[in-house]
């Protein structure tokens, strides 16, 4: 019993382009200097684009640095809804409170 090689037809024949004997690389291109920023801004404005198109931040930037607390703290992991955490975080930022102080404030207001 003889078997024929079914993959014999899949081997491509070498092409003339596969011969790299006469290959020479291109000379390196000379980098062009970028146009001045004012020229870029004018061209962008002429075509209806603005370079300062970032939306204004909706929330204040978080305060840097931490205030040391006199009370002992306990690290915890809580699973909160993102919407609730964002509300609480915004409340703390608006009131100028740390997370621990904001939590205490809410507990005191609720009468717990």
At 25 the pLDDT is 86
Could you tell me the mean pLDDT of each successive run of 10 residues in the chain, 112 residues long? 72 65 84 86 85 61 56 83 91 88 90 84
The count of domains in the chain is: 1
This prediction's pTM = 0.38
At 18 the pLDDT is 61
Could you tell me if residue 109 is inside a domain? yes
- How far, in Å, CA of 34 to CA of 23, rounded? 32
- How far, in Å, CA of 44 to CA of 65, rounded? 40
3-state secondary structure (DSSP) of residue 20: coil
- How far, in Å, CA of 85 to CA of 87, rounded? 5
Closest CA to 68 of 36, 112, 98: 98
Could you tell me if residue 101 is inside a domain? yes
Query: ∠ CA(70), CA(75), CA(79), 5° rounding?
Result: 135
Give the structural domain span for 93.
86-112
Token couple for 72: 């002992």
Could you tell me if residue 102 is inside a domain? yes
Could you tell me if residue 38 is inside a domain? no
At 20 the pLDDT is 72
At 55 the pLDDT is 64
At 1 the pLDDT is 63
Could you tell me if residue 37 is inside a domain? no
């Amino acid at each position: 019993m003889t078997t024929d090689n079914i993959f014999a037809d899949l081997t491509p024949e070498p092409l003339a382009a596969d011969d790299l004997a006469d290959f020479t690389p291109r000379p390196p291109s000379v980098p062009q200097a970028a146009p001045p920023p004012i020229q870029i801004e004018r061209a962008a404005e002429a075509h209806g684009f603005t370079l300062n198109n970032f939306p204004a931040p909706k929330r204040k930037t978080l305060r840097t640095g931490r205030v040391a607390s006199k009370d002992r703290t306990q690290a915890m992991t809580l699973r909160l809804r993102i919407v609730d955490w964002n509300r609480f975080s915004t409340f703390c930022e608006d009131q100028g409170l740390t997370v621990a102080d904001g939590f205490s404030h809410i507990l005191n207001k609720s009468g717990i």
